[in-house]
Amino acid sequence: MDEDDITEDLSAFITVHVPIGPTRETVLEPLTGHQDLEELLGNIYQKKLVFPYQHKEVRFIQTAIETLVLAIVTDILDNKEDIFDLRNEAHEDLETNTDAILCKIGSFYEQTKNTYPDQFDFVYVPFTTTVTHTISHRKCVALEPNHARIQERVESLLNRGRLTYKDDVIGDIEFVSFVQQTGDISTFRFHLNRNERYKRDLETTKIIHVDLVPGIRIIDPNLTENVRTFCPVQGFQGHILESASMQYLRLQYSPAVFCDAEVDFMQRVLSRRHLKVYRILKYLINGRDDDLDLLDECVLIGGKSDFFIPSYAIKTAIVIHHYECADDGDNLGHCILGILQWFQGKFAEPAVVQRRGGGCTCQVQITDITNQKIILATGSSRLIMDAKRCLDTITRDLLTYYKKAQGHDTGVYSFAARMAERVKKYDLDQRPMVRVVRHGGRAMAESGSCCYKLIILTCVVLFALGLLSAIIARRH
């Protein structure tokens, strides 16, 4: 890979128990020798998903973001008494953490990134504690940061010129703003500003977002017993005990997060074949940011429907599949189709749940590898079945793919892209009177806009009729 060719290297990236996959009890024999499918999947991976981790711009972004985030975290920890309210008795046993204050998580650090590195995730660890209770008698302790104080600390660093990182050739990365607060997650915006002589055909400025969440390092001497409660996947329980050193992180909404074990699993344990399967699945399901378009469409129809298969759900599927897969060959198709069929099974049997405002809706959910629920879909039964049909179509297209005379077509119409189209066109039985549309950064009611136009048109027609009547009266 030519590190100097940034246009070629990076432009593509700017933008009931059901076994998962083939097991010893059930193998998808019809796929044997289906070389057209294997060539398609191989081409998708090579042409769309081979990520240039060693490219000098990628390395610069990683170094710059880590340096700037560490500066922010260090300042937060130096002022943690002002940022965290520790007066609750549940915080009595907390001690200052001095070991590994910043945990790097997410697809970039697992080396499963499919898109340009414009999103980074970190957990910072101000405190640690040792628990000696069993799960049932344990006090639940979590951190709730004062986000106004965090913004003050970041502003202080900014005013002191501490939040810019420069490279003489590439350009610089600078902190721009605090974006939002979602629960305990603080989201910050940074800008990569490329030098004119360096950027060539790439855009001058690239936005990079960073999510920062506080956690408590839990030292748990009873983890050998407790791991069964924290993780439902038996094979992964063993990996946790092997790699977690009787420690895990507790976040506000997650009692046990095994960040180090997950990164280690993706980098060291998961086979190269299953790593490819995971990345291709992310592409088949969410495309290149097609999931964001789908979420936008769900907002536009009033928020009563929501469809999103996040990467963590796909990761959960690949972890389970890793311990159940009986295919020792090099083929990707068996595993990909098996996992897609597993998701299809989840959409085939949605649960009926009560809406907060009254009434019922359908919901599809799975249990992830930390024993937490992930909601994949919420909406009418008809729309849920549409989602299943979208997955069915992807499976059918893969099974019936044959190489074209001109070569392989690597363009894939992802699940998220298909569902965005379905949601956009979908006529709900109780469709909201107002479809929200974005206009100039503000929300306006489409129905209100239509009414306004209708009133104007009516006035124009009445005026024209009145004028015509006056002309006829004069002639008579």
DSSP states of 272-300: HHHHHHHHHHHHHHHTTTHHHHHHHHHHH
**Confidence band for 288, pLDDT divided at 50, 70 and 90:** confident
CA dist., res. 322 & res. 329, Å (int): 13
Asked whether residue 255 is domain-assigned, the answer is yes
Give the domain extent around 109.
56-269
Residue 398 scores a pLDDT above 90: no
pLDDT at 140: 61
Tell me: do 181 and 327 sit in the same domain: no
Domain boundary among 230, 246, 269: 269
- Residues 289, 247 share a domain: no
**What is the average pLDDT across 60-75?**
96
Write down the pLDDT at residue 10. Answer: 53
2 domain-assigned: no
The reply to whether 203 and 315 lie within a common domain is no
Q: How large is the greatest C-alpha to C-alpha distance in the chain, in angstroms?
A: 103
Same domain flag for 410 and 448: no
Q: Does residue 458 share a domain with residue 446?
A: yes
Our count of domains for the chain comes to 3
First to last CA, the chain: 87
317 with 237, same domain: the answer is: no
- Its pTM stands at 0.81
Clarify whether residues 290 and 382 are in a common domain: yes
Residue 34 has a pLDDT of 60
Q: pLDDT category, 453, cuts 50, 70, 90?
A: low
For residues 233 and 308, state if they share a domain. no
d(CA 278, CA 339): 10
Residue 9 inside a domain? The answer is no
> Could you tell me if residue 43 is inside a domain?
no
What's the mean pLDDT in 361-390?
92
Asked if residue 5 is part of any domain, the answer here is: no
Verify that 175 and 72 share a domain, yes or no. Answer: yes
For residues 311 and 377, membership in a common domain is answered with yes
The SS3 call for residue 168 is coil
> Quick one: 142 exposed, middle or buried, by C-beta within 10 A (0-12, 13-18, 19+)?
middle
Mean pLDDT of 141-164: 90
Closest CA to 186 of 161, 217, 151, 143: 151
Q: What is the mean pLDDT of residues 286-290?
A: 87
432 or 42, which is more confident? 42
> Does 261 share its domain with 281?
no
In this structure, are 243 and 392 located in the same domain?
A: no
